[in-house]
A = this chain, B = another copy of it.
Amino acid sequence: MIQKVSHIGIAVKNLQDAIAVYQKLGLEVEGIETVESQKVRVAFLPVGKEVRIELLEPTSEDSPIAKFIEKKGQGIHHIALATDNIENELKLAEEQELSPLDKVPRQGAHHASIGFLHPRAMKGVLLELCQEKDG
């Protein structure tokens, strides 16, 4: 079952620049983590009790985030919905023809188990389903 919005991922060229801007809104950085598999450095900024803004800086030119920025510019890259059962959620998405890009979960930032649905199924939105470590 979908429980909440987990995070909003924003592709940025320079993490420190982006952090400085979002801090002007009064948001605070909870942590910074490098996700080797995705070739990104991620800053987590909690907003309220449920959601984090994740600022995503590519660590390599062949990072998916670098390609996104090259094609579309900086901006919102994906939204992630938290579920209590990622295996089941991906299976349901398959049954509902929501074009999961991952048939089985893989590891994301914050030790979450994640899977993506293709934007063509979700009206242009790259949607991540994730089960948080404590979820």
Chain A: interface residue count, which band?
35 or more
Identical chains in the assembly: 2
Cβ contact within 8 Å between B73 and A124: yes
Contact residues of A between 98 and 112, Cβ < 8 Å to B: 98
Measured between beta carbons, the chain B residues less than 8 angstroms from A73 are 124
- Indicate whether A98 sits within 8 Å of B51 (C-beta atoms), given known contacts A79-B76, A124-B74: no
Given A21-B98, A75-B119, A96-B24, are A4 and B50 also a contact pair (CB < 8 Å)?
yes
A binding-site residues for B, Cβ under 8 Å: 1-5, 8, 10-13, 17-18, 21-22, 24-27, 47-51, 55, 72-76, 79, 81-82, 93, 96, 98, 119, 121-125
